[in-house]
Structure 1
Amino acid sequence: MPYNFIATARRVLDEEAQAVAALSARVDKDFENACERLLACTGRIIVTGMGKSGHIGTKLAATLASTGSPSFFVHPGEASHGDLGMITSEDVVLALSNSGETQEILTIIPVIKRKGSGLISMTGRPESSLAQLSDVHLNVAVKEEACPHNLAPTSSTTAALAMGDALAIALLEARGFTPEDFALSHPGGSLGRRLLLKVDDVMHGEEQLPVVSASTPLSDALLEMTRKGLGMTTVVDEDGKLIGIFTDGDLRRTLEKGVDVRVVGIRDVMSPRPVTIQPGRLAAEALQLMETRKVNGLIICDDQQRPIGALNTQDLLRAGVM
């Protein structure tokens, strides 16, 4: 019979999920103490680990750094050959080792202590040398690895990764870290566009914005829509305040009613109370508003409710927000 890959995958996922779930009961005063020490750190959080723990540590350092806790990874082997110079007394070292007996880490602990740096460890053995030498220890022990031989680091690395994420997010929330703060660390790619781009950056404003007064005949409003090419026009009162919108969809509904576009006024066929957003808001917020209100476009209005711009889903798509 062919090997049952699906059954194995489900078993691994179930075992690793159970390992992560078991961590919740161990989030106690030690976790709180670790967070307080990391939050009070005036230097950097130096993450270190060997082998698979090192790979998890690299990811954790990146997560901390991108969520408001300055951090970088130092390889414990390289630390013994000069990289310990990166660590200062203002730093806190976060050491990962499932066994708690990783020789490369134990070798550098005396120097870390001599420098006066804080030491937080994350191991699977609270009685280990590393755990005992640490200022704070976080227990990430697992019942067994997902590996059928209980050898390959699987459940243990997943547990360490999850506990590291818990630390990072707890610190993020304690710092009051905002989406705008997050964006400053992620200016590139689609994530940066979603977080940094504002409606002002993608809207059609000034001469590109279609605007007609409430007294405008529908035929003239259609000419304005054609000139600006947005498939809509804003409608304003005598003070320039937005009172409605007329779109291609409104035009189709108007024609279906047999209305003569040459004699009817725009006020009689416009849609009142269009969906608006203020300038300075994130483009991602505009997208969420459009999805919630089920509209394909938004009008950007100033604090006097005067239209200053417009955008649609195509604008957000071109900008990489969608």
Structure 2
Amino acid sequence: MSNNQTVESRALPLSNVPVIQLDASLKKALDKMTEHRLGIALIVGSDNKLVGVLTDGDLRRLLLGHQSPLPELLITPAINFGTRTPSVILASASVTEAATVMAQKEIWDLPVVDGSGKLIGLVHRHNLN
């Protein structure tokens, strides 16, 4: 791992990441996560700023903790079950910084944003090696 490489140079581009709009249903999030084979969906507002994430862990907690019928859950906005204050890293940060954040938070995926919070991509732990 090179200390001087930026996170942006290792990030998966948005075209390779499950990105959904704020009003997207849980079903849409699941479809995108399956399509991209990642355990996270990035939720953005109309300005493409990151507003939350939905992870495999969120889905497990949802299935174990909610008594609602599955069809009802699938049409509910995904953001209702995700994290509205996800960990992120600036595109200009170093790869080492990203690896440190991911290790400290015990996460595999880290959204990459610019200085205004606009989503740039996603760093997966395997992309940092």
TM-score by length of 1: 0.37
**How many Å apart are 1:291 and its aligned residue?**
2.0
CA distance in 2, matches of 1:221, 1:305: 21
Match status 1:309 vs 2:121: yes
Who is 1:242 aligned against? 50
Superposed counterparts of 1:10-21, under 5 Å: none
CA distance in 1, matches of 2:17, 2:108: 16
Segments of structure 2 that go 5 or more residues without pairing to the other structure are none
Other structure's SS at 2:117 match = coil
- The answer to whether the Cα contact below 8 Å between 1:209 and 1:308 also exists between their aligned partners in 2 is no
Identity of aligned residues (%): 26
Counterpart residue identity of residue 283, structure 1: V
- The answer to whether the Cα contact below 8 Å between 2:53 and 2:79 also exists between their aligned partners in 1 is no
Q: Which has the higher contact order (CA 8 A, sep 6+)?
A: 2
- CA deviation vs aligned residue, 1:88-107 (integer Å, no higher than 9, x gap): xxxxxxxxxxxxxxxxxxxx
Counterpart residue identity of residue 5, structure 2: L
Counterpart residue identity of residue 204, structure 1: L
Segments of structure 1 that go 5 or more residues without pairing to the other structure are 1-192
**How many Å apart are 1:263 and its aligned residue?**
2.5
Superposed counterparts of 1:113-152, under 5 Å: none
CA distance in 2, matches of 1:267, 1:254: 12
- The answer to whether the Cα contact below 8 Å between 2:14 and 2:122 also exists between their aligned partners in 1 is no
**How many Å apart are 1:296 and its aligned residue?**
2.3
- The answer to whether the Cα contact below 8 Å between 1:202 and 1:311 also exists between their aligned partners in 2 is yes
Structure in which a larger fraction of residues adopt strand: 2
CA distance in 2, matches of 1:208, 1:201: 14
CA distance in 2, matches of 1:237, 1:203: 20
CA distance in 1, matches of 2:113, 2:3: 21
Other structure's SS at 1:240 match = coil
Superposed counterparts of 1:1-322, under 5 Å: 193-258=1-66, 259=68, 260=70, 261-316=73-128, 319=129
CA distance in 2, matches of 1:311, 1:293: 14
Structure in which a larger fraction of residues adopt helix: 1
RMSD: 1.6
**How many Å apart are 1:251 and its aligned residue?**
0.9
Other structure's SS at 1:271 match = coil
Counterpart residue identity of residue 54, structure 2: F
Other structure's SS at 2:115 match = coil
**How many Å apart are 1:202 and its aligned residue?**
1.8
Larger Rg: 1
- CA deviation vs aligned residue, 1:23-76 (integer Å, no higher than 9, x gap): xxxxxxxxxxxxxxxxxxxxxxxxxxxxxxxxxxxxxxxxxxxxxxxxxxxxxx
**How many Å apart are 1:308 and its aligned residue?**
0.9
**Which has the larger displacement, 239-248 or 201-210?**
201-210
**How many Å apart are 1:293 and its aligned residue?**
2.7
CA distance in 2, matches of 1:205, 1:304: 18
Greater than 6 Å deviation, 4+ residue runs: none
CA distance in 1, matches of 2:51, 2:104: 21
Counterpart residue identity of residue 123, structure 2: L
Other structure's SS at 1:194 match = coil
Q: How many residues in Structure 1 have an aligned counterpart in Structure 2?
A: 125
**How many Å apart are 1:274 and its aligned residue?**
0.6
**How many Å apart are 1:229 and its aligned residue?**
1.6
